[in-house]
Amino acid sequence: MNTQLSAIVEVCREAGLALEGAVPEHCEVTGIAAVQDCGPGDLVFADKPALLNYVLERHPRVVVTARGLREKLAAVGPATVVLLTGQVSLAHALIKQRYAARDFAAAGWEGPVHPSAVVHPSAMVGADTFIEPRVVVGRNAVIGARCRIMSGAVVEHDAIIGDDSIVHPNAVIGYGCRLGKEVVVGAGSVIGAEGFGFAQDANRRSHPIPQTGIVVVGDRVRIGANNTIDRATYAETRIGSGTKFDNLCHVAHNVEIGEDCLLTAMFCIAGSSRIGNRVIASGQTGVIDHVSVGDDVVLVHRAGVVKDIEQPGVYASLPTQPMDEYLRNTAAARKGAELRRRVADLEKMRAED
């Protein structure tokens, strides 16, 4: 990487994020690094006071830091350019995406379609798309432009993948499922697995109800490694644009998840439930079937959703409670042992009287 700082600042400006500070003419950045390991040509990000000592010690070329930390860098020398912003993490994302993201071409596979891949003659593959070794692309599948389908992935018949998407190794895009643009599917994930639908007879033997719907994934969705998103029974399981899944998440059949959600590891949602927009779920959150979670809800502390949540806010525990109520109940529970001891002492004193 050898890039003019002015070009880096322009990348943020185009995205609506201002980086404040004087930009010297012909200021070149040679790398993006962690502040703890940086060198003289690097650009670094420092959003905490504890990180600023590294800046003073290691003299990176540029530091992007929070406005409130500017005075703590008063001693920085002229060799380091200080740029200020109210959103250091966002600056980190925008700049590293442009200049230091993974180089998929570094794998060096022969392309655009590797000789070991099997692509059905009726499939359509867009311009500048790479199909890596042992990929299988089924009948009438459509893969957009500038995609990368990585080693061992399977795109079944009639599936559609939008432009600029990446399907990581050994992932499966099930038949008929539709992915939007700029979608990332992690290694080992299955989009369009058979939904879990059974009917039991008088002897409690289970008979499958064929799940013949599809999964529809919006634009800019990130699906982590080893996720499973089940196809609907008849219509669609839907994932809204901009939503991001961590690893090891499960979405059951007929679920609808809104836009710009953040769903972390072991998130699990049962069939026919609905999640609104901008919902955040911390690890091991569970949602039972046929319930709704409204917009702007945050679920924490292994939340277990067993009934509808209509109001925005933070909810915790099983069954879910508003956060302030949960904290009061937790505090009271901590005192339970002491209360039991005091009651036992009082009962003993009364018996002795």
Q: Which residues are catalytic?
A: 253
Peptide bond into 112 cis (omega under 30): yes
Quick one: how far is CA 144 from the chain centroid? 22
The crossing angle, in degrees rounded to 10, of helices 336-352 and 323-334 is 40
Q: Which residues contact 219 (CB under 8 A, 6 or more apart)?
A: 162, 180, 181, 182, 183, 241, 242
Which residue is associated with the tokens 């599809």? 214
Cα dihedral 100→15→8→62 (10° resolution): -90
Q: Are 102 and 84 in contact (CB under 8 A)?
A: no
Measured between alpha carbons, how far is 305 from 302 in angstroms, rounded to an integer? 10
Selection from 105, 89, 106 nearest residue 97 by Cα = 89
Quick one: how far is CA 12 from the chain centroid? 22
The DSSP output letter for 231 is P
Q: Are 270 and 196 in contact (CB under 8 A)?
A: no
